[in-house]
Each structure stands twice: as C-alpha cells, then as structure tokens.
Structure 1
Amino acid sequence: MKFGVTWLLLLVLSVSSHAAIVNGVRVWPAPDNTRLVFDLDQPAEHTVLVLKNPFRVVLDVKGAQLKTDFSDLDLANTGISRIRSAVRNQNDLRIVLDMSSEMTPRSFALKPNDQYGDRLVLDLERSTLADLGLDSSPQVRQSVSKTLEAVNSLKRDVIVVIDAGHGGEDPGAIGPKKLREKNVVLAMAKELYDQLDALPGYKPIMTRTGDYIVALKKRSDFARQNNADLFISIHADAYRLPSAQGASVFALSNGGSVSAMAKYLADKENASDVIGGINGVSLEDKDDTLKSVLVDLSMTSTLQRSVEVGALVLAEIGRFTKLHGDRRSVGHANFVVLRAPDVPSILVESGFISNPREEANLGSAAYRKKMATAIKNGVVKYFEQTPPDGSYIAWAQQQKNTTKKYTVAKGDTLSGIAARNGVSVNRIIAVNNLSGTSIRIGQVLLIPGA
C-alpha cells in the first residue's frame, strides 16, 4: 500500500512539473496595434518587460519549452524586426522581440474555447499611427471627394461606416470546406466600399481593412466618432443544421421578443470578443449613458430609421438570392455591434456559410459583388428618400426639383448660358453628363436652379 501511495505521488509530481509547450504563434498587425498569440498545451505563468537602447519587448514564460519556429512569421507592418528565443534559468523560456519602433506591451492569458486551447496574448500598442506611416486621424480608410462642386460649396458627403465582422484571431463561422467568415465579409465590405466610393456624395469608411480583430463596442464607437449617417455590419450565418439557408437583415432589438434563430445568431456574434481575445470586455454593455439613451426618444428614432434602411436593403437582397425562412421584414436581436444610440445601424447576414451551397456562393467574387450591389442599392434608395440636411444628396435632389429646360440657339455658348442663369458651367456639364463645353444648335439642356 505504501508503494502504491508513493507511486501515485510521483505521478502527480511528474504531471504537475511537466513543462508547458509553446506549439504555435500567430501575428495580427492592425493600424494601431500588433497582436501576437502563442498557443500553449497548458496554462503558464508569464512576465513582460521592456528594454531600451535598443528598444526590445521581452516575454518570459515560466517552465515552458518552445516547439515552434519564428522564422516563417511575416513581420511586415508589425513594428517588430526580429523574434528570438533562449532558455532562461535552465527552466524558463525567454522570447525577445527586437522592435523597429517603440510600442507599449500588454499581455494576458486566455482559457480554452471551442476553437482554441490555452493562449497567451501579447498586444503591442502604438503611441501614434505615425509609427506605421499612417494618417493619425480616426478614420482607418476614407474616400476622396468625388465632386469638386461638393467640396467648393461645402455640401457634405453622407458617411457610411462599413464593418466587416470578426477578424484576426476570431475567424467567425467556418464552412464545411473551411471557408472563413472573416475573409468572406472583408472581401464583401471592400466591394461595398468601392461601389459607394464611386458615387458622388458618399464617403464610405471601413472599421477594418485587414485581418485583425476590433472590439465589438469599438466598432459602433468608431461610427459615432466619424459622425456616421449609417453603420452596416456584414456577416455570414452559421447554424448546427446544414440545411439552414438564406440572407437576412437585423436591427437592434428594443427589448421586445425575438425569434429563437435571431437570439442564436446574436449570441454567436456577441461571443466574438471572447474568441478573438478582447480582454476585460463584457458582452453586456453597462454604459450608464447608453442605458439612459435607450429609453430616450432619440433612440426610438434611430431604431426606426434602422428598420427603414434595413427594409430597403433586404428588398434589394431578395431580388437576387433567397432570404432566410419567411423573413421578408427586418429581424431584431440584441447584437452588441448595433448599439450606437444615435447612428442608424443594420447587420447583414449574407448567407449561411454552414450550408455547402451557400458556402460556395460566399466564396464566389461574383456573388459577393451582387450582395454588395444589393446593399448599396438599398442604401442609395434610403438616402434618396430621406437625404440628410446639408448633404450633397439633399442638394442634388433640390436641383432636380428646380431644373428647367433650355434649347440652344444660334450664337449660344455654354458660358453665356451659365452666366444668364446664374449657375456655373461645371454644374450644367454635370447635370447633362456633357464631356466638354461644346454644344450645338437645337440641343436641349437641363439648367439647374441657381
């Protein structure tokens, strides 16, 4: 009996003294930070310190061994020039990051979940975006003005923030053939960006332009910081039954009843911060200011506008692809990303990536372009119906209402016609889609109001 107890004690000591194995590492560069994620086979204590002259970030992992290679990592745009490792105190693992720019480290451990085992996360935060040669404005990606007229007359663009869901450590849903939601929706978001950017009077901005994670609340905050007229979050559904299919559009629930599927999808999307390793962010928004706004009439107005634009987008999507179930109206669910209290916000589920046929569609550039076009058409219809005050779109609609016709007579010049009507030559050219200033006798021109 004594021998058995001794053997058991030795076994316990052997298991407890087993060194943690670092068996993988991933690097996710973002505009304002770089994230390194180390995969472990068990939890391990760690410390982080900064050394200067030259600037280095040091990660010490207690009682750990390295079973992966750093040489294959792409360190472009990370602020890291080299990663090296060594054994410290004959037992610990030391990982040294040689930095090309000074960054502030922050680290934390993540427990296992459905997709990953134990992880150690090291975030390197930039003091300014200038470290990457990027603009220091809060706009990650913004368009240039499309019309000189709009700039000169200070007629503002309609700002549409486009949010590609998930990213970085959080792949989102994964299809039967391993297609990842984060990649699909980023490609779709970029297509929507390009289409809106080509329209006069629209300024699209993206919450992320690469493969990195953005906290859920930061996405809606980003829309508010940029004075967005509309926030669109793009996703792809997944469900345990592969037969589930169809696209849908959601607005924030105002506390009323929601369908079981809507709650299921919202719960999955709201888990993004946990999977992606956003440390210390609660999925339940406890912002007292927001809670007070939620019961305010302004929030009611925002929700109503969200439903209105969502209905137009949904109708356009339904023109070319199947909608989920009998959903011919905008769904409601408590998506964290839709909680901006004063920005109309919708979430587009572009299809079920868990359905083999729809996974193939989502992997197709042609399908993604059709989806982006449908979203764009719905957005344009909404703002044509309710143009924001002071916007180029509101001005353009006013011009349509005051436009008159003029037949070119002998001796007329475009500059003379413009001067007599108190408008610029450029405005007449724009309204009539002229290629230049040449006109002919008998030609009918549309003359916009002065």
Structure 2
Amino acid sequence: MGKSMRMRAQAVGVGVLLMALALDVFAASQVKSVRLWRAPDNTRLVFDLSGPVQHSLFTLAAPNRLVIDVNGAQLATRLDQLSLSNTPITGVRSAQRTPNDLRVVIDLSAPVTPKSFSLAPNQQYGDRLVIDLYDQGADTAPSLPPTTIADNPAVPVSPTQPAPKLTPPPPPGSKRDIVVAIDAGHGGEDPGALGPKGQHEKNVTLAIAKELQRQISQEKGFRGELVRSGDYFIPLRKRTEIARKKGADLFVSIHADAAPSRSAFGASVFALSDRGATSETARWLADNENRSDLIGGVGSVSLDDKDRMLAGVLLDLSMTASLSSSLNVGQKVLSNVGRVTPLHKRRVEQAGFMVLKSPDIPSILVETGFISNHNESQKLASASHQQALARAITGGVKQFFQQSPPPGTYIAWLRDQGKIAAGPREHIVSSGESLALIAQRYQVGLTALRSANSLKNDTVKVGQVLQIPATALAAQP
C-alpha cells in the first residue's frame, strides 16, 4: 500500500472514531429538570431524564457534601432555581466531567443518610433518578427495590419513605378523643389527576384534608390527624402505618376523581372489597413483620405469639368488623356529601385500594368530585366548597361514632351518661356475616333484630342495610 493510501486510510479511521464519539455524545441522556420536596424528616430530589442512566453516590465531610456521579448524562437544566428552604441543602452545583459523565455536588448543612434508585417511564413521567436524603435519626428502613402503587400503576414510589413524627395515643382509662386519620391523596412528585386548567389533585386533596382536620378537631371528643401536612409523597402502605401509630379509630383518604370523558361528575365513597380483604389477610399471615404488629385498635391484640390458625381467625374477625364499620360510616358520609354536591353513585362502592386495607381500622376513600370536569374542578378549588365537603364528611363521621363510639372515649362516656342520644343504628351486611354474629356484635337479641327488620328468617344478603334496635341483649330463642 502506498504512502498516500495509508494516509487516506488513517484519515478515514480518525473520521470514523470522531463520528463514533459524536454519536456517543449525542446518545447521552439529558437531565431535563430537577424537582425537590421536603417531608417531615427527609428531602427528595427527582432528576427527570430523557433516557436511562447509571449512577453512584458518596458522601464527604468537613464540609458535608453528597456527590452524585451520573454516567451517560448531560445537564440540560439549571440547578440554581431550586427552593432549598427548610432543607439540609445549602447549594447544588454540577460539572460535566466528560461529555457523557455528569457530577452533581449537593452542599449540606448537616449530615444525611442518602438512598437512591432509578425509575422507568410511566404514564406521567419519563426515566427518573430519585435521591432521598434522610435526616440524621430518621427511620431509614433497609432499602427495597422500588415498587409501584397498587391502585395507581402510573405512580412509582419508594417503599422506604419514613413516616412523619407520630403522637402516641393517650393512656388507657382516660376519656380519650376519637382519632380520625385524614389522608390527603398523592403529593410531592405524584400530582394525581390534573384539571382542565392545570389544577393538581394533590393540592385540592391537601386543602380539603386540612379543613376536615380543623372541623373534626373543633368537635369535643374528636381529634383529626393529618397523614401528610405538606407537598411530599408518602407510600400507600406507609400511610396506614402512620394512622395506626397515631391510634386512629377511622382512616379517611381524600381524593378527586378523573375520567377520559370530561362530562363525568359526582362524588363517591369507597370501602375495601371482599376480595381485597381476603388478599390482605393472607398477606398479613405470610408476613412475619406484620404478624408482630397489633390489631384491634385500642384493645389491641398481638399476633406474634399466636399460632397460624388462631392468628388467621383473629385477623379474619378483625377484617370483617373493620369492613362492616367501613361500609357503615361510608354510607353516612356519602349521604351527607350528597347534600352538598351531586353523587356519582348512590351507594358505597368497594375496591381493592391499598389505603383501605387496614385489618384493624375502618377505612374509607372519598372521591370529592371529578377534577377532570370543568365545573367540578372550579368548585373543588373553591374554599367555600372545600368547607362544605369537610362539613359533610364531619357530619357523617359524627353520626357513625355517636351510634358506635369506641370504648373508653369521651363520646362513649356521653352516651353512657345519657347526654347524647344513640339514635337509630344501621348495619350494612358484609361478606361472611350472619344475623347471629351481627346480633352479638351489637348486643341485641335475635328476635328483636328480626322484628326491627321484618325478617321472616335469619337469612341476610351482602349489602343489605339492617336497622339495629336499641334493646339490651335478650335471651336467645
């Protein structure tokens, strides 16, 4: 080969190499934006990416810093516009170490425990890199693979998000308040449904939840507790754990519905489905960590020292009672809500939503309306309508607990003293219940129960509404 031909071959080789490098640079993922949220004891950073990346991180001291190396990425956004108030982050800076390798340095005012994971695209977002910075002393459980919200597959979550600071229930023997845990749906990087004018469900639900907490706490003998108090995300199963640790007697999750058809309208109330209850009972029995938890609210029962059969019976009884109460309070809330806004369905619906799966806490999910509907989205954003919805939910909750107050509560004491009328009681039959079991639960005689409902025999159907007479337990016929 002549000298000129060798030179041309070398030039071609260099050209191919340069082209390959250019293509490699072109193929690098873009960091399109960075989002930040503060939770009670952690800070979450989400890097929105145009494609998948590899990453690693390490911490440095004196001064405290977190270094994140993102391989296969280029920065295509600004980092100096993040709101860092009330976080341990004092600054965020970056450098492109190579055309394909990005380094992000987070300056910290205090040491943190970092955890990170990548998320694949879903219906709302593309690829993401999530960095959780836990404050020192926060409950940072061992990392688990990222999971997906069971009743909203579009929204991935971290299972290790810690709970807000918890207030333990008062000691037994006191006339304690009835505790209502109020869960504002979505939050943080999960906006929920979007309204026609860009309203975020997470903001609407938080506003209604705060108003509901205010109104419930104004009622003597009741206390409202927020599951989340700001714009941050809490994994679904963690929400029920927070309610349990707060000693909740009732769990109310607030949402705003959406549908492809903008004409869909109306509020709904959901309780757990029978199928969801069965699968959750099985999960608790299979999970050793859950078995060491308590069930039964104030009169809690530990499953840790029970054999599998007894634990299964206790769980089944607890879940059945919880579901029955959920349907009962749900119907009262639905009736009250129907006085202030149109209803989508006139009976309590049942579904396997994750936040409804407590075996020991009656739980309902209130869809306050369709945020995808133009008229309802405007109402849901209105403070006056939010107050009206909160009053309706509060009214339903009060009616339920005045009829069936938990033992040891101030409301139970008032009823026992004859200072409040128990009023007519209703029971919605759930799967697995018999008339005899219902009579025993409410301490009424079978004959009185049959008579109050004009029953010719002891056959009852799922969903049937029974009137519970105010009669002391009589001798069984």
TM-score, with structure 1 as normaliser: 0.74
The equivalent residue for 1:265 is none
Residue 86 to residue 377, structure 1, CA distance change in 2 (3 Å): same
Measured in 2, the distance between the counterparts of 1:35 and 1:74 equals 12
SS of the residue 1:35 aligns to: strand
Q: Deviation at 1:63?
A: 3.5
Q: Deviation at 1:286?
A: 4.4
2:220 is the counterpart of 1:200: yes
The equivalent residue for 1:333 is 351
SS of the residue 1:400 aligns to: coil
Measured in 2, the distance between the counterparts of 1:224 and 1:344 equals 11
Whether the 8 Å CA contact 1:142–1:205 is kept in 2: the answer is no
The equivalent residue for 1:162 is 182
User: For residues 201-280 of structure 1, what are the structure 2 equivalents within 5 Å?
Assistant: 201-255=221-275
Q: Deviation at 1:21?
A: 1.6
Whether the 8 Å CA contact 1:252–1:334 is kept in 2: the answer is yes
SS of the residue 1:298 aligns to: helix
Measured in 1, the distance between the counterparts of 2:172 and 2:118 equals 52
Question: For residue 363 of structure 1, what is the amino acid of its counterpart?
Answer: A
The equivalent residue for 1:370 is 388
The equivalent residue for 2:378 is 360
Measured in 2, the distance between the counterparts of 1:91 and 1:284 equals 49
Question: How high is the sequence identity, in percent, across the aligned residues?
Answer: 50
Q: Deviation at 1:64?
A: 2.3
Q: Deviation at 1:55?
A: 1.5
Ranked by relative contact order (alpha carbons within 8 Å, sequence separation 6 or more), the top structure is 1
Q: Deviation at 1:152?
A: 13
2:200 is the counterpart of 1:180: yes
The equivalent residue for 1:262 is none
Residue 27 to residue 240, structure 1, CA distance change in 2 (3 Å): same
Whether the 8 Å CA contact 2:179–2:248 is kept in 1: the answer is yes
The equivalent residue for 1:280 is none
The equivalent residue for 2:134 is 125
Residue 25 to residue 285, structure 1, CA distance change in 2 (3 Å): farther
Whether the 8 Å CA contact 2:370–2:377 is kept in 1: the answer is yes
Question: For residue 389 of structure 1, what is the amino acid of its counterpart?
Answer: P
Question: For residue 193 of structure 1, what is the amino acid of its counterpart?
Answer: Q
Unaligned runs of 5+ in 2: 1-13, 140-161, 292-311, 422-477
Q: Deviation at 1:127?
A: 3.0
The equivalent residue for 2:148 is none
Unaligned runs of 5+ in 1: 1-5, 131-136, 258-282, 404-450
Question: For residue 120 of structure 1, what is the amino acid of its counterpart?
Answer: L
Measured in 1, the distance between the counterparts of 2:334 and 2:253 equals 14
Question: For residue 199 of structure 1, what is the amino acid of its counterpart?
Answer: E
Whether the 8 Å CA contact 1:138–1:226 is kept in 2: the answer is no
Residue 27 to residue 368, structure 1, CA distance change in 2 (3 Å): same
Measured in 2, the distance between the counterparts of 1:153 and 1:204 equals 21
Give the RMSD, CA atoms, in angstroms.
Answer: 3.2
Measured in 2, the distance between the counterparts of 1:112 and 1:402 equals 55
SS of the residue 1:296 aligns to: helix
Question: For residue 207 of structure 2, what is the amino acid of its counterpart?
Answer: A
1:25 to 20, 26, 34: 34
User: For residues 273-422 of structure 1, what are the structure 2 equivalents within 5 Å?
Assistant: 286-287=283-284, 288-289=286-287, 292=312, 296-324=316-344, 327-401=345-419
